[in-house]
Amino acid sequence: MTYLETYVQSIRDNNQDELADSVKKTADDVGNKYLSKFNYRSNQIGMLLGNVQSGKTGQVFAIASEAVDRGFPFFILLTTDNTRLQQQTFERTQKDLTAFVVCDEKEEQKFKNANGKPAILVLKKNTSILREWANILKNMQSFRGNPLFIIDDEADAASLNTKVNQNDVSTINKYLTEIRDTAIASIYLQVTGTPQALLLQSLNTEWHPSFTYYFEPGKGYLGGNFFFPNSGEVPKHVRFVDNKTSVECMKEVVIRHLVVTAQAFLNNENVSNCLMHPGIRQASHEKVKKELEEMLLYLKAHINDIEILEMIKYEYDLIDPKKSSKVLLSDLNDKVKSLLISSDYQILTLNGTSTDTSSDYETGCNFIIGGNTLGRGITFNRLNTFYYIRTSKAPQADTMWQHNRMFGYDRDPGLVSLYCTQELYQLFYDINETNNHIIDQVKRGANFTIAYPSGLNPTRNNVLDKSILDIVIGGSNHFPLEPENHSFDDITAMVDGFRDEDDAINVSLGFVLQLLKHFKAEESFNLKGYMNIIESLFKSSPATQGRLLVRRDRDITRATRALLSPNDWAETNQYEDQFVLTLYCVKGQKEKGWEGHPIWVPNIKLPKSKDYYIIE
């Protein structure tokens, strides 16, 4: 059997036929579309895009197996700079890739002496570790003459150059480049569920993916569309904490978690986790921990109070388990009492100073408190209750999305719950909407455009090259200073039916695109970027309407600061949620700076609700 067949069969042997079919499809697609075209003498960047906690590791291992079958003998699997995560990944790789020689960070000789088998090295993105291995690989003769396959898990974190705007290279980025360049050729596969930082890299940089492959989540996955659906309705498993005191919130969250834990444990499950994310500061972790401890003691002392029993019944009536039989209320009450009276639960803290590890929350009823550590790569089985109240003055879409540890396969949709503010929920909703838009563009092979509401940044600013990133503020007017008409007569004919006295009229975005194809503009205006935005909106939702306003015989000086008249400015500003194209036919007198003949000038206004990011 091939390496891919061996790996897929190992999954089938565990009675996971659906997963086996999924990873084989991914490996076959990537192999046929991209690996088959690799020339074994250059470096190529690709991206594997999946949803957060949707099973990217299994897909990656299938691609690695396919790569072996296509002639790649050496692999490096990069994790974030987290010792626990690196060890977790190393152990998972050993378990799943039995046909590979799997090497830890200190196993230099094992990696060198693979004896004809494919070797995979699991490294964390740590400066000293990467520097050490860059030197080792430079002196490894067999390594220099073979292609290298690098798998960068969570590639948007730590790997990118954080000094791109300082005309310098950050340390991690430098060593990753050195490691890649030690081989004769390479494929660098960026793996992520939050691609914003990667897609917003310059098209000419070594870190912008030349291909992107998206794999669909499997059956039973609960992700963004489950928690933040685009129906406009807030799901019943989402609870807003606005206008409640911290004590009231804590009481509700704890009782809810005890109820779902009792339901789970009475159905012979052995773990039920609650995650509390108050922020990044350890002081906030300690504060929440103290409130949690006090609430558990209070509930223990008042477990027979009518108020508490009614709250338990309220939560009992709300749960609707899909993966188990709903237990009797009397049995559930007894189990909740037992959990409290015997203190059969754990309070764990995960941050930079804590000693708690993943093994501490693999079983039992757990309340886990933390900040950034609760993000990338960390998995919590049976995460039934999520309490997220973290705030930020400048929220980042990719960081916030990685905090959604409630996404995954082993969740019961009838037991999970999310507690947050309405403001945070709206931010998550907006991020999910953009994520779906990105995925749609990947599927269609379209040019990427990314848009977020004002105040929500796609990623951290230090990895975005400001010299090539054009941020267009929605709702503002943009027009070229040096427009050109491919054919003045053609544009005139296309808008012949639009009268000067008409208000801005609803038109298809497809028609707008056809109009704009007749224009050229100076490089700084980035007309192509605007057209990509419009095309993306049109392709994802063909029925979406824009507005067109046409005005003729305009007596305007070239390079004026404002193109639109006050009346036209007021008219187009009425349509805040629509794309608006205003076409002015300017007289074009030479004394006004023009070429001496009439010319059409386009004015573009994007929907006000968002800012748009265009890469040059």
Distance CA 536, CA 531 (A): 8
Residue 402 near residue 193, CB atoms below 8 Å: yes
Q: Is 442 exposed, middle or buried (0-12, 13-18, 19+ CB in 10 A)?
A: middle
Span 348-362, average pLDDT: 77
Beta bridge partners of 365: 272
Look at residue 612 in the predicted model and tell me its pLDDT.
81
Q: In DSSP terms, which residues pair with 275 in a beta bridge?
A: 368, 386
Beta strand 364-370 pairing with 271-277? parallel
Give yes or no for residue 540 having a pLDDT over 80. no
Residue 203 has pLDDT above 80, yes or no: no
Question: CA-to-CA distance for 463 and 201, rounded, in angstroms?
Answer: 8
pLDDT of residue 616: 58
pLDDT bracket for residue 11 (50, 70, 90): very high
Burial of residue 323, with CB atoms counted within 10 A of its CB: 0-12 exposed, 13-18 middle, 19 or more buried: middle
Report the C-alpha gap between 359 and 453 in whole angstroms: 39
Q: Would you place residue 354 in the very low, low, confident or very high pLDDT band (cuts 50, 70, 90)?
A: low
Average pLDDT for 134-152: 90
3-class DSSP assignment, residue 599: strand
Single-letter residue type at 9: Q
The one-letter amino acid at 397: A
pLDDT for 356: 67
The residue assigned the tokens 């995960």 is: 350
The model's pLDDT over 145-156, given as tens digits with 9 standing for 90+, comes to: 889 999 999 999
Please give the span between the terminal C-alpha atoms of the chain, in angstroms, as a whole number. Answer: 46
pLDDT at res. 378: 75
Q: What is the pTM of this model?
A: 0.83
Residue 472: the pLDDT is: 74
Task: Give the neighbor-by-neighbor strand order of the sheet with 450-453.
Answer: 450-453, 610-615, 469-473
Contacts of 170 (CB under 8 A, 6+ apart): 160, 161, 162, 163
Q: What is the pLDDT of residue 279?
A: 84
Give the C-alpha distances (Å, rounded to integers) separating 131 from 102, 134, 137, 142, 206. Answer: 20, 5, 10, 20, 20
In the structure encoding, which two tokens stand for residue 523, read together? 């490089």
Residue 25 has pLDDT above 90, yes or no: yes
Alpha helices in 358-486 (DSSP H): 397-402, 422-444
Asked if residue 483 lies in contact with residue 523, where contact means CB atoms within 8 angstroms, the answer is no
Q: Is 574 exposed, middle or buried (0-12, 13-18, 19+ CB in 10 A)?
A: exposed
pLDDT band at 559 (very low <50, low <70, confident <90, very high): confident
Which tens digits make up the pLDDT trace of 325-345? Answer: 999 999 999 999 999 999 999
pLDDT value, residue 88: 86
pLDDT at 613: 81
* Average pLDDT score over residue span 565-590: 92
- Alpha-carbon torsion angle 32, 33, 36, 37, nearest 10: 160
| Exposure on the CB side of residue 163, measured as CA atoms within 13 A | 9
Report which of 545, 537, 549 is spatially closest to residue 502, judged by C-alpha positions. 549
User: Is the pLDDT confidence value at 373 over 90?
Assistant: no
d(Cα 441, Cα 397) in Å, to the nearest integer? 18
* Residue-wise pLDDT tens digits, 45-57: 999 999 999 999 9
Whether the CA torsion 51, 535, 210, 31 is positive or negative: it is positive
Q: Taking all residues of the chain, what is their mean pLDDT, rounded to a whole number?
A: 91
Three-state secondary-structure class, residue 149: strand
pLDDT over threshold 90, residue 170: yes
pLDDT at 353 over 80: no
H/E element holding 319?
none
Q: Which residues have C-beta within 8 Å of that of residue 460, sequence separation ≥ 6?
A: 162, 197, 396, 399
Side chain identity, residue 383: L
Three-state secondary structure call for residue 292: helix
- Tell me: pLDDT of 489 over 90: yes
Quick one: pLDDT band at residue 212, thresholds 50, 70, 90?
A: very high
Residue 76, token pair as written in the block: 């490096």
Beta strands (DSSP E) in 354-504 are 364-370, 383-388, 417-420, 450-453, 469-473, 477-478, 484-485
Distance CA 522, CA 525 (A): 6
pLDDT for 300 beyond 70? yes
With a cut of 70, say whether residue 377 has pLDDT above it.
Answer: no
Nearest in space to 315 (alpha carbons), one of 403, 251, 411: 251
C-alpha distances in angstroms, 94 versus 104, 165, 473? 10, 40, 49
Q: Report the length, in residues, of the chain.
A: 616
**Looking at residue 541, what is its pLDDT?**
80
Report residue 91's pLDDT band, with 50, 70 and 90 as the boundaries: very high
Give the pLDDT confidence score for residue 56 in this predicted structure: 93
Give the whole-angstrom CA distance, residue 67 versus residue 118: 10
In whole angstroms, give the CA distance from residue 173 to residue 469. 20
